[in-house]
Structure 1
């Protein structure tokens, strides 16, 4: 089950960022570092972006190449390398997960808060089992029943982040009004789903808003996105954009800031918390 620790994904990302800073301080580009270590430039790139596991030996070699002699710094980075190779709770789902979703789960497990704009679907952390099953059966038309059930199980397991004992995840979701009205799984399933959203909105760590269709043009018309904020100031925020071809993580500070600004515009345009709850309740009664 998900735990409230930062997990291997964020440790790997942090290690990669620090190694990149050390390489640049040593006056080397990634190709030069690769040549010195006898590996490919793409390996250096994957390590520095946190997209590839890295061995303790590789980190030790990189620290030697970058002339890092401070023992405390070396031990801290080697410790990150050891910790980054631990298995996250999502590892049990292995090959069942869509490409990139192991990274997504790792980010989610480590984040302090998620701000999400949902243009078409209920956020995965708020979905009921029946809604998730109906949705996945519709989206993953080539998957076996077993595969769909594994993904439903994975989605339900993710929701433990909302109730973890230490520092439960803070979630702020803005739904497009149409999300509430699309009867995924049929009226009864959707009515139960809307009730689940209303119950979640009563939690002090969860904020729900609805953006009415009547608002017209707004900052989210090109699709859903999320912004992850981490508890450690050394871990910069990340934006996430999902789609049928996989996951995209946006890490450049200026680009993440644009997503955060868009979210601020959307929350200003959306109904307030009370009005949003009233609209959700009214929509549920009309199902």
Structure 2
């Protein structure tokens, strides 16, 4: 059973994939239970992520579903093996909400990460100074010790992008660039960091200008994730006042895929975005002189 009795993100992803293959094969859960010599309840709990299928069960299921692609079989077996693997972030678990742990788990597995941020600079691009200011500017009090732990976690999350282990695209609304919500010095440092990050081959930064407006349905920050060699969205995390929600329903994934594509089409090109950021940086320095 997943740690703490609740499905992990990985066990849910595995279960959803197995359910999709079962439905495509036209089989029901009682039939699958006969294949793996188990109860229908176990099949149901596997598909909801409450238990993780053993590799031998996965192989039997996929054979019954007519799935012969060795890469698919290997990927799902590896997902089962890693479902309860201890992530680097668990050493900070005492300082993290469960929903934030889910977000990090999804992010850490992703091969493609796309993010829309209309309020603050995305966490994967934040400097420590900006991160500290953003965390302490929130409505609730955060103890100094927890602030420092959250900054460490944010830095550790960025290591994946720094190493080039995922393709990352960030779309930022223009007010984030030209109207700092935080102190001006951290903001300048942050703009320089964004420009530097945008030079990396695996990073794309685009700014959505005022003139484009904000497409309907895309006013809240969200991130979408892919876990394979193709950028097909398989999970979305959405920020709200109560935390972060992980969305995996196919209709939700389609809606947010379309929303991001709409935002990307309306945003400035990466080169034009970099020019806008450089101009904002230059103006802030001139205003201070």
Scaled to the shorter chain, the TM-score interval is 0.7 to 0.9
Instruction: Identify the residue that residue 226 of structure 1 maps to in structure 2.
Output: 223
Can you list the C-alpha shifts for 1:39-78, whole angstroms capped at 9, x where unaligned? 8x9x955x5344x56486xx9899999x97x9x99x9777
Equivalent residue number for residue 186 of structure 1: 183
Deviation at 1:154, TM superposition (A): 0.3
Partner of 1:123: 122
Map of 1:268 onto structure 2? 265
> 1:169 is matched with which residue?
166
How far apart in 2 are the matches of 1:125 and 1:215? 25
Deviation of residue 99 (structure 1)?
2.7
In structure 1, distance between residues paired with 2:92 and 2:197: 26
Residue number in structure 2 paired with 1:86: 85
State the TM-score, normalized to the length of structure 2. Answer: 0.76
Q: Which residue of 2 aligns with 1:201?
A: 198
Unmatched tracts of structure 2, length 5 or more = 1-6, 285-289
Bigger RCO of structures 1 and 2 (CA < 8 A, at least 6 apart):
1
Q: Which runs of 5+ in 1 are unaligned?
A: 1-7
Provide closer, same or farther for how the CA distance between residues 99 and 85 of structure 1 changes in structure 2, counting only shifts above 3 A: closer
Cα distance in 2 between the residues matched to 1:281 and 1:78: 47
Secondary structure of 1:139's counterpart equals: coil
Are 1:27 and 2:28 matched, yes or no?
yes
**CA RMSD for the aligned pairs?**
3.7
CA distance in 2, matches of 1:235, 1:276: 25
CA apart distance, 1:211: 1.0
TM-score, normalized by length of structure 1? 0.77
For the residue of structure 2 that corresponds to 1:194, the secondary structure is helix
Q: Report how many residues are paired.
A: 266
Asked if 1:210 is matched to 2:210, the reply is no
**1:92-133, Cα deviation, whole Å (9 max, x unpaired):** 111211231112111111111111111101111100000000
2-structure distance, mates of 1:64, 1:169: 32
Q: Does 1:111 align with 2:103?
A: no
> Retained in 2: the 8 A contact 1:126–1:159?
yes
Secondary structure in structure 2 of the residue aligned to 1:241: strand
Partners of 1:14 and 1:235 within 8 A in 2: no
